[in-house]
């Protein structure tokens, strides 16, 4: 997540120095929490050999978040060179962490300064890249739980700028955007659709999100819709992954604002059997799989989750992990959700290799 940062006199000098450090990949002592997080990542991806044969360059609009870092590490393992957009001084410390975590991959991680609200700046950042991973989001320190109506508008604006920049950057052939299941779920008043199926054709109702002040859902919905509009109008290849609530060890240390914002309305999602989660490494793996299948005929919307919260003990576990009151997650629905679990259906017909994104092995 990004905050528009305050400028500092030595920002450019710090960025140049840090970018040089990234290039030579020197290792410094990590803080205990980040070291434990990276060890978790190593355990997840050790089964993959580093692919040195793929020299493609990709840009990630925010490689410094919990998800962005996981995607960056998996891309590096697949042989990609990863260019990370740096937005200001507040990103420098997080960039240092990424430098330490990726020390093994010498010379294959880059940093570039760009403003996500300016198309020309993004074109400069994207130039020379084969594809773009649009993962960035925004927070408003003055908003409730860090995400406000204003942030929803910014989210849509940035999506527009990113897609326009992708479509006019000569080297860029495709874009993979991180959306949210919340862009699919909120439909038909306070109840969900019947029959209870959520698939790639499902869209949340914008008016409902606005009326319920579900700003995070609204932001993801508007951002994804404008991305698809531009992609269709300009004939540009786009895929989106509609992700469930991201989970990971020490979740709130790495991902506090999106977690709290996602869980607004959790009691209704729980009641209707659509409160789903996904491990960050499963989600990162899905991103790279979908992106690589886009080399062929693949495109479209994909749902990604690995668990649906339907039982009391599952709700309690989620409450403990997120430090959200249990009553706000389950409401008055004790023991199990009121309705049978809604069936989530991913888009299966586009390609064969990644047929079941909700149960990636």
pLDDT for 182-209, tens place per residue?
999 998 754 554 446 888 999 999 999 9
Mean of all residue pLDDT scores within the chain: 77
How far apart CA 56 and CA 75 sit, in angstroms, is 10
pLDDT band at 19 (very low <50, low <70, confident <90, very high): low
Candidates 115, 161, 220, 264; catalytic one: 220
Within the chain, strands assigned E span 57-60, 81-86, 109-113, 131-134, 174-180, 197-198, 237-243, 245-247, 276-279, 300-304, 307-308, 343-344
User: Coil, strand, or helix at residue 177?
Assistant: strand
Q: Which residue has the higher pLDDT, 132 or 87?
A: 132
Q: Give 140-185 pLDDT, tens digit per residue.
A: 555 555 678 888 999 999 999 999 999 999 999 999 999 999 999 9
Give, rounded to a whole angstrom, the gap between the first and last alpha carbons of the chain: 28
Element (H, E) at 71: helix 66-77
Residues linked to residue 247 through DSSP beta bridges, in sequence order? 279
- What pLDDT does 180 receive? 96
DSSP 191: S
The C-alpha R_g of the chain, in whole angstroms, comes to 20
Cβ neighbours for 277, distance < 8 A, ≥ 6 positions apart: 244, 245, 246, 247, 305, 306, 307, 309, 318
How far apart CA 10 and CA 113 sit, in angstroms, is 14
Our CA angle for 225, 171, 351, nearest 5°, is 55
Our CA angle for 29, 100, 175, nearest 5°, is 160
- What pLDDT does 192 receive? 52
User: Are residues 349 and 303 in contact, defined by beta-carbon separation less than 8 angstroms?
Assistant: no
Task: Say yes or no to pLDDT of 132 above 80.
Answer: yes
| Percent of the chain residues topping a pLDDT of 70 | 70
Number of other residues whose CB lies within 10 A of the CB of residue 182: 26
Task: Say yes or no to pLDDT of 29 above 60.
Answer: no
- What pLDDT does 174 receive? 96
Q: Which residue has the higher pLDDT, 10 or 325?
A: 325
DSSP 42: H
Crossing angle, helix 32-45 and helix 66-77, to 10 degrees? 40
Among this protein's residues, is 237 annotated catalytic? no
User: Coil, strand, or helix at residue 61?
Assistant: coil
How far apart CA 110 and CA 252 sit, in angstroms, is 27
């Amino acid at each position: 997540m990004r905050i528009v940062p305050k400028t500092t006199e030595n920002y450019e000098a710090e960025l140049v120095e840090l970018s040089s450090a990234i290039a030579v990949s020197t290792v410094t002592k990590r803080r205990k929490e980040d070291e434990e997080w990276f060890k978790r990542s190593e355990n997840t991806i050790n089964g993959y050999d580093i692919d040195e044969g793929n020299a493609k360059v990709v840009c990630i609009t925010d490689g410094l978040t919990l998800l962005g870092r996981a995607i960056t590490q998996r891309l590096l393992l697949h042989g990609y060179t990863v260019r990370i957009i740096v937005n200001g001084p507040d990103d420098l410390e997080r960039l240092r962490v990424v430098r330490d975590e990726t020390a093994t991959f010498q010379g294959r991680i880059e940093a570039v300064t760009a403003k996500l609200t300016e198309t020309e700046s993004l074109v400069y950042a994207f130039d020379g890249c084969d594809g773009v991973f649009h993962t960035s989001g925004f927070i408003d320190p003055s908003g409730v739980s860090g995400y406000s109506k204003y942030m929803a508008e910014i989210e849509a604006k940035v999506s527009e700028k990113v897609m326009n920049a992708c479509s006019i950057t000569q080297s860029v052939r495709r874009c993979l955007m991180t959306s949210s299941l919340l862009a699919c779920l909120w439909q038909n008043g306070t109840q969900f659709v019947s029959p209870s199926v959520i698939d790639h054709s499902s869209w949340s109702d914008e008016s409902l999100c606005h009326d319920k002040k579900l700003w995070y859902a609204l932001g993801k919905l508007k951002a994804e819709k404008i991305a698809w509009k531009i992609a269709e109008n300009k004939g540009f290849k786009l895929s989106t992954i509609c992700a469930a609530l991201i989970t990971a060890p020490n979740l709130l240390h790495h991902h506090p604002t999106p977690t709290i914002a996602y869980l607004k309305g959790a009691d209704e999602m729980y009641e209707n059997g659509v409160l789903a989660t996904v491990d960050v490494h499963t989600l990162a793996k899905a991103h790279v799989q979908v992106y690589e299948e886009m080399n062929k005929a693949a495109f479209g919307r994909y749902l990604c989750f690995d668990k649906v919260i339907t039982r009391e003990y599952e709700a309690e576990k989620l409450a403990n992990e997120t430090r959200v009151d249990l009553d706000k997650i389950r409401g008055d629905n004790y023991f199990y959700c009121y309705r049978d679990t809604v069936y989530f259906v991913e888009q299966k017909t586009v390609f064969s290799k990644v047929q079941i994104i909700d149960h990636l092995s």
